[in-house]
Chains A and B, each alone.
Chain A
Amino acid sequence: MDATIINPFVKAAVRILGQELGQIPEKEALQLQDTYYTTEDVTVMIGVTGSVEGTMLVGMTESTARNIAASMLGCKLVLFDEMAESALAELGNMIAGSASAELEKAGYQCRISPPSLIVGRGTIISTSRMRRLVIPFRVPGGRIRISVALRRAKEANQEGSRCSGTP
């Protein structure tokens, strides 16, 4: 994954987290991972299709999820209910949507899927043998980790053609 694909997600996350949580998030050191993704307490998953394709995952602990949802809802959260889940899914949607606009500026046309929310630690998710770049952020109320596993569509096609030989 090169910087032209990753930087849009960093820029989008800083902008959206800053607007929604009222404080510019602090980016921590990036990590490159090539194992399966294991979900955290709360994970938002969004698919990306188009000239770049793959997955964006936003993971956090339950405590951070509650704090972020409370901040977005503007109230003290008593229950981690459907509205709190919806707020976190929308946070992921706004980050991915904003990143897709930045990707367009870099010459990549793509669309995003509606967000899926996974509640519960330990679910294993395959990111189709793609390396994942993990971008950790310190935000008011905790830490979140944005994992981006993306590749250019032509790279995916080349990989597909390598696998489409005679069985």
Chain B
Amino acid sequence: MGKILVVDDSAFARMRTAKLLADNGFEVEEAANGAEAVRKYQQVRPTLVLMDITMPVMDGLQALREIKRQDASARVVMCSALGQKSVVLEAIKAGAVDFLVKPLQPQRLLDVVRKHGHAS
């Protein structure tokens, strides 16, 4: 099972996602904004990042670009309440491997994490 970095400024959203992943055997790390995610990515080298978009300090799209600049092979799935096509396209263009719209559906989240979050 892979190590998943869950990035969200909402403690509630982090807890809900982290619990679901931990209950399904994944190792979980957490970050509360994009800047913390970039730092934590370097420290823990997760197999997959689940990244919110609207966050203070550094938003998720900026953090995605920074992580991809540091590690082109990084796998990042955006998880956002913002479901606009323009935002999804911007994220995919910046290197996100997938996009999930909140509220997250548990089975869909697990399917995506299993697809992209396996250790290589």
Q: List residues of chain A with CB under 8 Å of any chain B CB.
A: 16, 19-20, 72-73, 82-83, 86-87, 89-90, 93-94, 96-98, 100-101, 104, 109, 111-114
Given A72-B12, A94-B81, A109 contacting B86 (CB threshold 8 A): yes
Question: Is B80 interfacial (CB-CB < 8 Å)?
Answer: yes
Could you mark each residue 97-111 of chain B with 1 if its beta carbon is under 8 Å from any beta carbon of chain A, else 0?
A: 000011100000000
B82 x A90 contact (CB < 8 A): no
A100 touching B82, Cβ below 8 Å: yes
Chain A residues closer than 8 Å to B9, beta-carbon distance: 114
- B: contact size bracket: 10 to 19
User: CB < 8 Å: which of A19, A104, A113 contacts B86?
Assistant: A104
Least CB separation from B85: chain A residue: A104
* A73 & B84 in contact (Cβ 8 Å cutoff): no
Known A-B contacts A109-B86, A112-B54; A97 and B12 likewise in contact (beta carbons under 8 Å): no
Residue B10 interfacial (CB < 8 Å)? yes
10 contacts between A and B (CB under 8 A): A16-B103, A83-B11, A83-B15, A87-B12, A96-B81, A98-B83, A101-B83, A101-B101, A111-B54, A114-B56
Chain B interface mostly:
loop
The answer for the CA separation of A38 and B90 in the assembled complex, in Å, is: 37
Provide the residues of chain A in CB contact with B13, threshold 8 Å: 86, 90
Known: A101-B84, A109-B84, A114-B54. A93 touches B103 (CB 8 A): no
Set of chain A residues within 8 Å of B101, measured between Cβ atoms: 97-98, 101
Residues of A contacting B86 with CB < 8 Å? 104, 109
Min CB gap B9→A, angstroms: 6
Across-interface contacts of A98 in B (CB, < 8 A): 81, 83, 101
A87–B10 alpha-carbon span in the complex (Å): 8
Task: Let me know if B55 is at the binding interface, CB within 8 A.
Answer: yes
Q: Which of B10, B15, B56 contacts A89 (CB 8 A)?
A: B10
Inter-chain CA distance A86–B15, complex, in Å, is 10
> Which 4 A-B residue pairs are closest in the complex by CB-CB distance?
A97-B81, A101-B83, A86-B12, A87-B12
- What A residues does B84 contact at CB under 8 A? 100-101, 104, 109
Considering the complex, which residues of chain B in the window 42-67 have a beta carbon less than 8 Å from any beta carbon of chain A? 54-56
Q: How far is the CB of A42 from chain B (nearest CB, A)?
A: 14
Nearest CB of A to B85, in Å: 7
